[in-house]
């Protein structure tokens, strides 16, 4: 039976051909894996570059946001001060005993208190 199989395969030439196919098949798989790896790296490299750029932009945006938050806080503080000043002036103007001299004194007092800032 073994001789029949050998005869069918063509003797040693057939065995050599089978061995070559088995070896080549492994090489084809390795070549395919290399090709796929190269293609993946080719696709991933620009993405990683873009991610690095976006991370830098995000860092800059966070920094700018912190500066803007600080400016907003300062402006809110200033608005509170101006609202209090306006409330004092309104109270001085609407007071039942309001005179031009008293209103001017209130405004002058505000001017003196803001000079120290």
Phi/psi for 95 (5° steps) reads: -60, 140
Domain assignment of residue 100, yes or no: yes
Between 5 and 72, name the one with better pLDDT: 72
Domain assignment of residue 19, yes or no: no
107 near 89, Cβ under 8 Å?
Answer: yes
63 near 88, Cβ under 8 Å?
Answer: no
Handedness of CA 47, 50, 55, 61 (dihedral sign): negative
Domain assignment of residue 4, yes or no: no
What are the Cα distances from residue 101, in Å, to 86, 91, 97, 98?
17, 14, 11, 8
Confidence at 11, pLDDT banded by 50, 70, 90: very low
Domain assignment of residue 17, yes or no: no
Domain carrying residue 50: 30-116
pLDDT tens digits along 72-102: 999 999 999 999 999 999 999 999 999 999 9
Domain assignment of residue 86, yes or no: yes
Cα 20 from Cα 15, distance rounded (Å): 8
Domain assignment of residue 66, yes or no: yes
Cα 30 from Cα 33, distance rounded (Å): 5
Between 114 and 71, name the one with better pLDDT: 71
Tokens of 113: 């208190």
pLDDT tens digits along 34-74: 888 888 788 888 889 999 999 999 999 999 999 999 999 99
Domain assignment of residue 9, yes or no: no
Which pLDDT value is given to residue 116? 56
Q: How many domains does the chain have?
A: 1
């Amino acid at each position: 039976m073994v001789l029949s199989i050998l005869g069918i395969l063509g003797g040693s030439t057939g065995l050599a051909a089978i061995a070559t196919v088995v070896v080549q098949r492994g090489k084809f798989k390795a070549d395919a894996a290399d090709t796929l790896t190269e293609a993946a790296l080719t696709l991933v490299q620009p993405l990683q570059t873009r991610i690095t750029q976006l991370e830098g932009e995000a860092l800059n945006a966070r920094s700018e946001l912190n500066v803007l938050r600080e400016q907003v806080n300062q402006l809110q503080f200033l608005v509170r001060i101006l609202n209090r000043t306006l409330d004092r002036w309104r109270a001085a103007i609407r007071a039942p005993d309001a005179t031009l001299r008293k209103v001017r004194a209130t405004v002058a007092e505000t001017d003196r208190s803001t000079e120290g800032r």
